[in-house]
Amino acid sequence: MAGTTPGTPRVLRAMNDRAALDLLLEHGPLSRTRIGKLTGLSKPTASQLLARLEAAGLVVATGTTEGRPGPNAQLYSINARTAFAAGLDVTPKRIRAAVADITGATVGEHVTETHGRRSASVARQVGEALDGAVKAAGITRADVHRLVVGTPGAFDPSTGRLRYASHLPGWHSPTLLEELAAALPMAVEYENDVNLVAVAEQRLGAARGHDDFVLLWNEEGLGAALVIGGRLHRGFTGGAGEIGFLPVPGTPLVRQVAKAGSGGFQELAGAQTVPRLARELGIAGVPQGPHHEVAADLLARAAEAEQGPYRTLLDTFATALATGLASMTAVLDPGLVVLSGPLIAAGGEPLRERVQSELAELAPSRPRLVIGDVQERPVLRGALESALAATRDEVFDTSR
């Protein structure tokens, strides 16, 4: 709002404009009368507001209130094509890209397989994934206002280099961010993948309305996101939440964890632990395959068991999760812990109940534990939500 003074008519108009746009995002098509009631504006002021937003291309007339009592009224909606935002979910095997219009609707997706393509530059792989999603959306790269890229680990703000993700091929070049900036025409942000799951849960899922919470993610690796005062806490090097390195009782103390690649908590409650524990408990027919897939299958069976080795498996795994959570809650004292990831989803409510019960005995505070609501592509959804929030702040600012 450069060049304006708080309280001036221009600023007040901009505030009313944004309030109306947010209402249209939340409720969908609204009439002038309904917008006036929801904002507290008079009919003439609401009419002027809508005329202003329509002239700016931010809203469009989308029909009338046919079928309702009284005379038909014109309905207005957000112009979905006002701007587009994109998100990327990066793993060692693939890059999944998606494009959303300004309303948040996903309009294009694409997956670029990267496994075995070590010769292809990261910038080229990112470009391929983004172009595939852009093409599916029927737009061009130039139409994308902002891109948020989610990766394991985090880019250290002091060096610009990716840390805590040695398993991500090609992403550790000291010039990578410069290469991507040169290749991409839009504003680009980089965020830890688990942090983006927390963004998705805060905006759309189990953490809506919560400004302070912890999210625990369990898939191939363990990770956490910390939201304090409504904002992500990333830490000095971007490594806040890398709890796989956390020393915990029940595992040997790991030294030089950066070289080892993990620490005590990953060894205690990571995916690789579940198949081993199942075999130790005498469970027959433990399948072969990726640890996280086998672990999810075993935990799904354990969640249905009332007794026997599968019940012991679920109880033991719940204790392992609660052990690490006890250290986190002792430091952070969160009111809410969101449990997320494929392993948590597989164990479901029986696993959550056991973790909650164990945590009550291990931690001085007793946060409420819930299972995450955003189950489908949560990293990608969080990337889109993050990109959309910044895009809306810029595009919807009518004070300029």
Q: Which of 47, 78, 109 is the last residue of a domain?
A: 78
**Domain holding 227: CATH number?**
3.30.420.40
pLDDT tops 90 at residue 109: yes
- Is 264 found in the same domain as 364? yes
Under DSSP, is residue 257 helix (H, G, I), strand (E, B) or coil? Answer: helix
Under DSSP, is residue 222 helix (H, G, I), strand (E, B) or coil? Answer: strand
Rounded CA-CA distance 235/100 in Å is: 29
Q: Which of 44-48, 259-263, 293-297, 360-364 has the lowest mean pLDDT?
A: 259-263
The predicted structure's pLDDT at residue 118: 66
155 located within any domain:
yes
- Please check whether residue 343 is in contact with residue 296, taking contact to mean a CB–CB distance below 8 angstroms: yes
- Is 271 found in the same domain as 122? no
202 located within any domain:
no
Q: Which of 12-16, 172-176, 262-266, 326-330 has the lowest mean pLDDT?
A: 262-266
- Is 73 found in the same domain as 29? yes
154 located within any domain:
yes
Instruction: For residue 192, give the nearest of 238, 161, 160 by alpha carbon.
Output: 238
What tokens were used for 267? Answer: 């060894």
389 located within any domain:
yes
Record the pTM.
Answer: 0.92
What are the tens digits of pLDDT across the range 74-103? Answer: 999 999 999 999 999 999 999 999 999 999
**Dihedral class, residue 356 (left if φ above 0, else alpha if ψ from -120 to 50, else beta):** alpha
Total tally of structural domains belonging to the chain:
3
DSSP state of 319: H
Q: What angle do CA 286, 290, 292 make, to 5 degrees?
A: 85
What tokens were used for 105? Answer: 């609707």
Rounded CA-CA distance 14/400 in Å is: 9
Residues forming a β-bridge with 59: 78
The top-scoring range by mean pLDDT among 59-63, 143-147, 282-286 is: 143-147
Q: Which of 45, 62, 78 is the last residue of a domain?
A: 78
- The percent of residues above 70 in pLDDT, for the chain, comes to 95
34 located within any domain:
yes
Q: Which of 28, 50, 78 is the last residue of a domain?
A: 78
229 located within any domain:
yes
What are the tens digits of pLDDT across the range 284-323? Answer: 989 889 999 999 999 999 999 999 999 999 999 999 999 9
What tokens were used for 153? Answer: 């680990």
The predicted structure's pLDDT at residue 255: 85
Rounded CA-CA distance 83/75 in Å is: 21
- Is 352 found in the same domain as 258? yes
- Is 360 found in the same domain as 233? yes
Q: Which residues contact 282 (CB under 8 A, 6 or more apart)?
A: 309
- Please check whether residue 221 is in contact with residue 270, taking contact to mean a CB–CB distance below 8 angstroms: yes
- Is 350 found in the same domain as 223? yes
Q: Which amino acid is at 115?
A: H
- Is 273 found in the same domain as 312? yes
pLDDT tops 70 at residue 117: no
What are the tens digits of pLDDT across the range 205-239? Answer: 999 999 999 999 999 889 999 999 999 999 999 99
- Is 105 found in the same domain as 65? no
**Domain holding 32: CATH number?**
1.10.10.10
- Is 330 found in the same domain as 212? yes
The predicted structure's pLDDT at residue 1: 45
- The percent of residues above 90 in pLDDT, for the chain, comes to 82
2 located within any domain:
no
pLDDT tops 70 at residue 4: no
Categorize the per-residue pLDDT at 256 as very low, low, confident or very high, splitting at 50, 70 and 90: confident
- Is 330 found in the same domain as 213? yes
- Is 360 found in the same domain as 278? yes
What are the tens digits of pLDDT across the range 153-164? Answer: 999 999 999 998
Rounded CA-CA distance 157/210 in Å is: 27
Which range marks the domain in which residue 26 is found? 9-78
- Please check whether residue 263 is in contact with residue 244, taking contact to mean a CB–CB distance below 8 angstroms: yes
pLDDT tops 90 at residue 5: no
31 located within any domain:
yes
- Is 357 found in the same domain as 262? yes
